[in-house]
Amino acid sequence: MNVKSRFYEPRCQKAVKALIKNGFDAIYVPTKEEAAKKAIDLVPPKASVGVGGSVTVRELGIIDELKARGHVIFDHYLASTLDEQKRMRKGQLTCDVFFASTNALTLDGKLVNIDGTGNRVASMIFGPGHVVLIVGANKITDDLQQAMLRAKQVAAPMNAIRLNLKTPCTTSGYCSDCLSEDRICNVTTIIEHKPASSYFTVIVVGEEIGY
């Protein structure tokens, strides 16, 4: 018996139903492997692909697979200069398919995110031809209050550590609402319903993935 799978599946299914009610295309897949396959299948031939700052997407190996298929990839992590980073981020806003994750997903289908620069959430809201979010079961919260708490106290500190930022949370392990120049909590968004005129898919995975 896989205890985590039995615990996560009903929560994932409930979140998916809520997302669909809120206007999103949403599906549940039990495993990371199925999530990666589904995500890649959503990319048409020759489509340009944008990648937000997402550990989830990178853990799934999607980027390498799409590169091998010859897709143009807008990934600012690959940039070697600040100007190239800026160009990549702008490319994410107008790409054919944009991949990212979310910091938290509520059981009633709301997506909560905190960004340092804002390019990830901007691309979720408007611009790309198709937005695809891949969300691990560990990111599902009971309500909006818990989602905000998760984004601030779990996702943000872990991402600050990953990015080697000089913020208090990288040593304390919790957000103190700092005024550091490296502060990662600059833009907070709550997507309550699918943005108008957007093509938006959420893949909910029955395993832990990402921060």
Sorted by where each starts, the structural domains of the chain and their CATH numbers stand as 3-205 (3.40.50.10420)
Angle at alpha carbon of residue 139, lines to 170 and 68, rounded to 5°: 90
Task: Give pLDDT tens digits for 161-188.
Answer: 998 999 999 999 889 899 999 999 999 9
Render pLDDT for 76-125 as a digit per residue (tens, 0 to 9). 988 889 999 999 999 999 999 999 999 999 999 999 999 999 999 999 99
Describe the chain by its helix, strand, coil percentages, rounded to 5. Answer: 45, 20, 35
Cβ(99)–Cβ(50) under 8 Å?
yes
| pLDDT band with cut points at 50, 70 and 90 for residue 52 | very high
* Dist CA 26 CA 28 (whole Å): 7
Residue count of the chain: 211
pTM: 0.94
Q: Do 203 and 132 contact (CB within 8 A), yes or no? A: yes
- pLDDT single digits (tens) 134-171: 999 999 999 999 999 999 999 999 999 998 999 999 99
By DSSP bridging, strand 111-115 and strand 187-191 are antiparallel
